[in-house]
Amino acid sequence: MEFIKLNNGVEMPMLGFGVYQMNDLAECEKSVEEAIKAGYRLIDTASKYGNEVAVGKGIKNSGVAREKLFITTKLWLQDAGYENTKKAFEISLKNLGLDYLDLYLIHQPFNDVYGSWRAMEELYKKGEIRAIGVSNFRPDRAMDFMLYNEIKPAVNQIETHPFNQQIENNRFLSENGILHQSWSPFGQGVLNVFNNDVLKDIASKYNKSVAQVVLRWLIQRGIVVIPKSVHVERIKENINVFDFKLDDSDMDIIKSIDTGKSTFKNHTEPEVVK
Ligand code: NAD
């Protein structure tokens, strides 16, 4: 596993395990256990996913020491605000069966995010969270947050995959010392990433799968990835990306399939705020 240093010095694994839409809680628990046994050390959940308890059980069942793991959860938008955030944080921690978090993210850039951030800064200073960050913040909101808060976000987790490469956003985040983390590296498996001819050609050249090429391409851009799968073979396949390197020409070729647009929830739409 490779690691990257966040702007506060904390080391974060370059690859982790996402558990969005793992609604079958027994399956979620088992998958988290399998992922940790396969070598994953970062688990990415959210209170909104409704599976923090199962994630906590999977962590426990893995038998891997807590301090070797990097656990992320997220604050949902209806829990925003100073007091609510403190309560939501305690509930998440209890659900997960943990006594500290590695990374706590504001899930959406709406509601009283400044009140939330005050609470998160306090929890960070008390050592209850090792790093605090945001998700789905466009550059204007991220800049606002950097300028008008005491602690700068360590991470911004945003949609990033071959069809929405976030090239400008990546430049903005790296120039400002905020770690870019990708959500949905495979476009949730619904955008036909795995059948893309450009990616298939590159995969056959390296004798790797399309999934492995996509993850490797993101990691080489300095972007932390958190692919999701409930199948043990794919869980293992997705972490097996540290034994090859895409050359510069292949990195450039992948740029050609960017659409520069999201096909998922549009975070600029008023409906998303509800
Ligand atoms: P993903 O892009 O990781 O795609 C997962 C799907 O890809 C699987 O369900 C499966 O259909 C397919 N797949 C996985 N591995 C494969 C393989 N090796 N071969 C073939 N098919 C494979 O989707 P995701 O779960 O949406 O994103 C990853 C994680 O990002 C989430 O689990 C969650 O933790 C996080 N996330 C965060 C936000 C946010 O708003 N912050 C939003 C979405 C996701």
Per-position DSSP letters for 141-177, written without gaps between them: HHHHHHHSSSSPPSEEEEE-BTTB--HHHHHHHHHTT
Is 107 known as a binding-site position? yes
Cross-strand partners of 18: 44
Going from the C-alpha of 31 to that of each of 17, 26, 35, 141, 204, the distances in angstroms are: 9, 9, 6, 34, 28
Q: What is the C-alpha radius of gyration for the chain, rounded to an integer number of angstroms?
A: 18
Q: Is 49 a catalytic residue?
A: yes
CB 47 within 8 A of CB 60: no
Quote the mean pLDDT of the chain.
96
Q: Is there an atom of ligand 1 within 6 Å of 52 CB?
A: no
Q: Among residues 49, 82, 100, 114, which one is catalytic?
A: 49
Task: Give the bridge partners for 156, in sequence order.
Answer: 134, 180
Tell which one of 32, 186, 234 to mutate to probe ligand 1, the residue whose CB is within 8 A of the most ligand atoms.
Answer: 186
Centre of ligand 1 to C-alpha 19, Å, is: 8
Burial of 42 (0-12, 13-18, 19+ CB in 10 A): buried
The protein residue with its alpha carbon nearest to ligand 1, atom 37, reads: 183
The amino acid at 117:
W
- pLDDT digit string, tens, across residues 149-192: 999 999 999 999 999 999 999 999 999 999 999 999 999 999 99
Q: What is residue 102's three-state secondary structure? A: strand
CATH 3.40.1080.10 fits 3-261, yes or no: no
What phi and psi values does residue 253 have, to the nearest 5 degrees?
Answer: -60, -40
pLDDT tens per residue, range 12-55: 999 999 999 999 999 999 999 999 999 999 999 999 999 999 99
Mean pLDDT of 113-117: 98
Closest atom of ligand 1 to 183 CA is: 30
Q: Report CA-CA distances (Å) from 245 to 21, 26, 111, 207.
A: 31, 36, 42, 12
Could you state, in order of their start, the residue ranges of all structural domains in the chain? 3-261
Is the Cα torsion angle 74, 77, 78, 82 positive or negative in sign? positive
User: What residues contact 35, with CB distance under 8 A and at least 6 apart?
Assistant: 17, 43, 58, 235, 239
Q: How far is the CA of 21 from the centre of ligand 1 (A)?
A: 9
Q: Report CA dihedral (171, 173, 177, 179) to the nearest 10 degrees.
A: -110
Best residue among 34, 48, 103, 228 to mutate for probing ligand 1, ranked by most atoms within 8 Å of CB: 228
Q: For the complex shown, is ipTM > 0.85?
A: yes
Residue with token string 């628990």: 29
Cα 185 to averaged position of ligand 1 atoms, centre (Å) = 6
| pLDDT tens sequence across 87-114 | 999 999 999 999 999 999 999 999 999 9
